[in-house]
């Protein structure tokens, strides 16, 4: 570490370090060893954080957009200049290869830069009057205190994608990071403080699994918290939505996916193989936009499977700090268990393992490809969230689209084709918030990221990404 003062282990409430009555361990998933213990705060501290955010909000919302732009830009610069340290913390607590962690820091910082700029573009409207003595105006105002509940798979980017638009809009925030990756969140908050985000405007409440549930209840039940942004499982998203019903909170939810990846017979197969690897195996398969089901048209099925399996077998697995490694460990034992269950089910139902198929030491799993996958397998319905790629065969275009849409999820989808008619037909038919065409990578700060159906509500990033943090107010001036 170049700057050891980024290693913070206390919760941050109203600009003060809070050690908590107890602590919880953060471990390195590659080694199983403890890295640090972190403040295990609960309901009472969550209430303190809400109160601090409420008090700070009245000051922050009164700053100019230009001022908030300047603070966010400074935060962006600090994130970029501390990229190595942030990536080191991230690889240690999350496991992703160091190069991928540095990529996430750049991606995370890009949201801060983007929303620093958007801060200055929150424009209202003046409307044509409906009566000649009237003047009609529309204001956009900060929604208020926001809560961000974030996951472990992108410990930094899922925070900045929520916090940057909130701060840009003039809101204050309480972050509840994943109990598995709180150190990255605390380092990011430290840099925000150095950038000039005032005490109380950004608070971080860290808690273990049980306390995360308690903190979640407090955030949802609070009348002061006007918005909750959550990224994580659909199951927890439903709980937060139900808990938020009594206070009619605005919600942004980025939930589970079950991404289809379709390869048509007119596709460039080598490019499709590259795209499938990028989409399926990024972060060892632990992203909500990872291809979960690969559908390949009959005429190119064997060629695709053979080339895909050969490449997958060559992916180097190991500790993320090893330079050659492109596949780190899975986050915890439960993640390994899910991959093994999906694999066993697929094999039992006739799937053919053509790459990997075995658990390696500790939390490592060999990147796996199973050919001859069928719709009755569990992996056709559930998100595996790991390095396991089932490949299904199809004959007709409609059959692939129907199978792709046959899920309650609707986050990312992908397909490969060179036929312009098919590209529009299939692109418009897929019931997904995002469609990658001839690419396996779709995310960037200037696009709207989000899903339909049970994959969530709202969009993050792009000029749309600030809207959830704003309320519309209509001013009607009479007697003019
Ligand atoms: P993942 O699928 O990423 O493991 P989860 O949906 O379990 O994610 O968790 C994502 C985030 O939600 C984490 O910060 C976790 O602590 C938090 N969380 C999990 N369960 C609850 C709950 N019942 N209430 C509030 N937050 C929760």
Alpha-carbon torsion (195, 198, 199, 200), positive or negative: negative
pTM, two decimals, is 0.98
Q: Which token pair is 17?
A: 């370090």
Specify the ligand 1 atom closest to the Cα of 149. Answer: 14
**What DSSP element (H or E) covers 476?**
strand 470-477
Cα(328) to ligand 1 centroid in Å equals 22
Residues 6 or more apart whose Cβ sits within 8 Å of residue 7? 1, 36, 89, 183, 187
Pocket test for ligand 1, best of 178, 231, 337, 456 (most atoms within 8 A of CB): 178
> Which residue shows structure tokens 């019903």?
245
Pocket test for ligand 1, best of 149, 179, 234 (most atoms within 8 A of CB): 149
Residues 6 or more apart whose Cβ sits within 8 Å of residue 289? 257, 259, 279, 411, 412, 434, 442, 443
pLDDT at 17: 98
**What DSSP element (H or E) covers 420?**
helix 420-429
- The pLDDT tens digits along the chain (480 residues) read 899 999 999 999 999 999 999 999 999 999 999 999 999 999 999 999 999 999 999 999 999 999 999 999 999 999 999 999 999 999 999 999 999 999 999 999 999 999 999 999 999 999 999 999 999 999 999 999 999 999 999 999 999 999 999 999 999 999 999 999 999 999 999 999 999 999 999 999 999 999 999 999 999 999 999 999 999 999 999 999 999 999 999 999 999 999 999 999 999 999 999 999 999 999 999 999 999 999 999 999 999 999 999 999 999 999 999 999 999 999 999 999 999 999 999 999 999 999 999 999 999 999 999 999 999 999 999 999 999 999 999 999 999 999 999 999 999 999 999 999 999 999 999 999 999 999 999 999 999 999 999 999 999 999 999 999 999 999 999 999
Specify the ligand 1 atom closest to the Cα of 176. Answer: 14
Does residue 236 have its Cβ closer than 6 Å to ligand 1?
yes
Pocket test for ligand 1, best of 176, 179, 184, 236 (most atoms within 8 A of CB): 236
Q: Are 151 and 158 in contact (CB under 8 A)?
A: yes
Does residue 221 have its Cβ closer than 6 Å to ligand 1?
no
Cα(325) to ligand 1 centroid in Å equals 28
Grouping H, G, I as helix, E, B as strand and the rest as coil, residue 47 is helix
Does residue 212 have its Cβ closer than 6 Å to ligand 1?
yes
Task: Report the residue count for the chain.
Answer: 480
Grouping H, G, I as helix, E, B as strand and the rest as coil, residue 125 is strand
Does residue 239 have its Cβ closer than 6 Å to ligand 1?
yes
Cα 155 versus chain centre, distance? 8
Q: Which token pair is 439?
A: 């690419």
Does residue 232 have its Cβ closer than 6 Å to ligand 1?
yes
Alpha-carbon torsion (411, 95, 185, 33), positive or negative: positive
pLDDT at 224: 98
Does residue 386 have its Cβ closer than 6 Å to ligand 1?
no
Q: Which token pair is 221?
A: 């039940």
Cα(176) to ligand 1 centroid in Å equals 9
Cα(357) to ligand 1 centroid in Å equals 29
Does residue 213 have its Cβ closer than 6 Å to ligand 1?
yes
Cα(177) to ligand 1 centroid in Å equals 9
Alpha-carbon torsion (146, 149, 153, 155), positive or negative: positive
- Which are the catalytic amino acids? 254
pLDDT at 90: 98
Does residue 216 have its Cβ closer than 6 Å to ligand 1?
yes
CA torsion angle 386 392 398 403 (round to 10): -50
Cα(239) to ligand 1 centroid in Å equals 10
Residues 6 or more apart whose Cβ sits within 8 Å of residue 195? 71, 72, 74, 75, 77, 78
Query: Which residue is closest in CA terms to ligand 1's atom 11?
Result: 151
Does residue 233 have its Cβ closer than 6 Å to ligand 1?
yes
Q: Are 441 and 278 in contact (CB under 8 A)?
A: yes
Q: Are 90 and 328 in contact (CB under 8 A)?
A: no
Cα(324) to ligand 1 centroid in Å equals 32
**What DSSP element (H or E) covers 6?**
none
Cα(345) to ligand 1 centroid in Å equals 27
Does residue 429 have its Cβ closer than 6 Å to ligand 1?
no
């Amino acid at each position: 570490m170049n700057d050891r003062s980024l290693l913070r282990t206390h919760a941050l409430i109203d600009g003060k370090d809070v050690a908590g009555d107890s602590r919880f361990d953060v471990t390195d998933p590659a080694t199983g060893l403890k890295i640090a213990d972190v403040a295990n705060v609960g309901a009472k501290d969550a209430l303190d954080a809400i109160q601090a955010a409420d008090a700070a909000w009245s000051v922050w919302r009164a700053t100019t957009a230009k001022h908030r732009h300047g603070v966010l830009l400074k935060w962006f610069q600090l994130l970029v200049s501390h990229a190595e340290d942030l990536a080191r913390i991230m690889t240690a607590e999350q496991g992703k290869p160091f190069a991928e962690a540095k990529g996430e820091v750049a991606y995370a910082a890009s949201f801060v830069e983007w929303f620093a700029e958007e801060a200055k573009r929150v424009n209202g409207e003046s409307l044509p009057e409906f009566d000649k003595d009237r003047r009609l105006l529309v204001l956009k105002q900060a929604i208020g205190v926001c809560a961000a509940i974030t996951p472990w798979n992108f410990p930094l980017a899922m925070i900045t994608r929520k916090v940057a638009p909130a701060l840009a809009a003039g809101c204050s925030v309480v972050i509840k990071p994943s109990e598995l990756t709180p150190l990255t969140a605390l380092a990011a908050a430290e840099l925000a403080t150095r950038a000039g985000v005032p005490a109380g405007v950004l608070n971080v409440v860290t808690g273990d699994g049980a306390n995360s549930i308690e903190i979640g209840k407090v955030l949802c039940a609070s009348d002061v918290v006007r918005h909750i942004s959550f990224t994580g499982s659909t199951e927890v998203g439903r709980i937060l939505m139900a808990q938020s019903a009594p206070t009619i909170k605005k919600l942004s939810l980025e939930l589970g996916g079950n991404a289809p990846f379709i390869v048509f017979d007119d596709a460039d197969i080598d490019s499709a193989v590259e795209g499938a690897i990028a989409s399926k195996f990024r972060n060892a398969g632990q992203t909500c936009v990872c291809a979960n089901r690969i559908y390949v048209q009959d005429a190119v099925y064997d060629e695709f499977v053979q080339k895909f399996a050969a490449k997958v077998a060559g992916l180097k697995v190991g500790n993320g700090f090893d330079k050659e490694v492109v596949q780190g460990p899975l986050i915890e034992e439960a993640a390994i268990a899910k991959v093994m269950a999906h694999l066993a089910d697929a094999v039992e139902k006739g799937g053919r393992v053509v790459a990997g198929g075995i658990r390696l030491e500790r939390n490592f799993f060999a990147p796996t490809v199973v050919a001859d996958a069928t719709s009755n397998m569990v992996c056709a319905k559930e998100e595996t969230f790991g390095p396991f790629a089932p490949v299904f065969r199809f004959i007709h275009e409609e059959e692939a689209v129907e199978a792709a849409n046959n899920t309650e999820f609707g986050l990312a989808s992908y397909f490969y084709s060179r036929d312009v008619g098919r590209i529009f037909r299939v692109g418009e038919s897929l019931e997904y918030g995002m469609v990658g065409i001839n690419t396996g990578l779709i995310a960037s700060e200037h696009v709207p990221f989000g899903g339909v159906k049970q994959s969530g509500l709202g969009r993050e990033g792009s000029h749309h990404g600030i809207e959830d943090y704003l309320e519309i107010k209509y001013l009607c001036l009479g007697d003019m």
